[in-house]
Amino acid sequence: MSTTPADGPVLEVSGLSKSFGGNHAVREVSFALGASELLALIGPNGAGKTTCFNMLNGQLRPDRGRVVFCGRDITGMRPREAWRLGLGRTFQITATFPSMTVIENVQIALISHERKSYELFSAARRQGRAEAEALLDRVGMAGAADRHCAELAYGDLKRLELAVALANRPRLLLMDEPTAGMAPAARVELMALAARIVAEEGVSILFTEHDMDVVFRHAHRILVLNRGEIIAEGSAEAIRADARVREVYLGGGTQEPGAEEARPHA
């Protein structure tokens, strides 16, 4: 795990802005994320969540603004370099090697973290086994170590993906709609696991999510984006009660976000 200056925020974002032609996808977004914090970034379709994530991990260069990670300015740094510093990301579509076993996927990630060559994989296979097993145990997948990824249920693939991301000893993990495509019970389970990892391993997580039950149940704090701007920030209670948030989600209705009708996505 990379080091953070004592007591400093893990992530500090200031004035982040991005336009596509005349479309202001993200405008003057500023926020900070502390150590061991589980922060949700929510907002309706097209609010700018993905654009924001893409600027945080270097996939997109901001027009303006700064991204400081563990005290270091990483604005415009390439994703691979940010990843090396401990800023990991998981995507909506799982990215594992289907022809390999569960444990081989984690071993590959460990080898990559240690900057060993893939050609050394067969030699490293034995060496990294114990560490990979420990990571699989962490995500409740120890019993599936030697199964092929192609055989796994979707929820198990998401757990494996988390183990792969943790192999890089991230300080911060960006999770892009981690529970998309999962059944409601599996969603809650996956985010409960993420919350445990945050609490027990000091990893911070910033996630986007359309399922308000998941957000309200697990996020320590919530940021609400609308049309590229942060319109509210606070606890689940504060966000539920926020008039602007209700207006955005419900067009001025009185129902709070989190009710079935409030979900911007089906």
Ligand X SMILES: Nc1ncnc2c1ncn2[C@@H]1O[C@H](COP(=O)(O)OP(=O)(O)OP(=O)(O)O)[C@@H](O)[C@H]1O
**Binding-site string for ligand X from residue 82 to residue 121, where x marks contact by CB under 6 A and - marks none:** ----------------------------------------
Question: Any contact of residue 20 with ligand X (CB under 6 A)?
Answer: yes
CB of 265 to ligand X, least distance (A): 7
| Contact flag: residue 65 with ligand X (CB under 6 A) | no
Tell me the DSSP string of the chain: -----TT--SEEEEEEEEEETTEEEEEEEEEEE-TT-EEEEE-STTSSHHHHHHHHTTSS--SEEEEEETTEE-TT--HHHHHHHTEEEE-SS----TTSBHHHHHHHHHHHHTT--GGGHHHHHHHTHHHHHHHHHHTT-GGGTTSBGGG--HHHHHHHHHHHHHTT--SEEEEESTTTT--HHHHHHHHHHHHHHHHHH--EEEEE-S-HHHHHHH-SEEEEEETTEEEEEE-HHHHHH-HHHHHHHHSS-SSPBTBGGG-S--
51 binds ligand X (CB under 6 A): yes
| CB of 39 vs ligand X, minimal distance in Å | 16
Q: How far is the CB of 17 from ligand X (least distance, A)?
A: 12
Q: Which of 31, 38, 43, 102 binds ligand X (CB under 6 A)?
A: 43
The residue among 72 and 78 lying less far from ligand X, judged by its C-beta, is 78
Q: Out of 10, 33, 38, 50, which residue is the one contacting ligand X (CB under 6 A)?
A: 50
Instruction: Indicate whether 181 belongs to the interface with ligand X (CB under 6 A).
Output: no
Asked whether position 47 contacts ligand X by CB under 6 A, the answer is yes
Q: Decide whether 158 or 159 has the Cβ nearer to ligand X.
A: 158
Task: Enumerate binding residues for ligand X (CB under 6 A).
Answer: 20, 23, 25, 43, 45-51
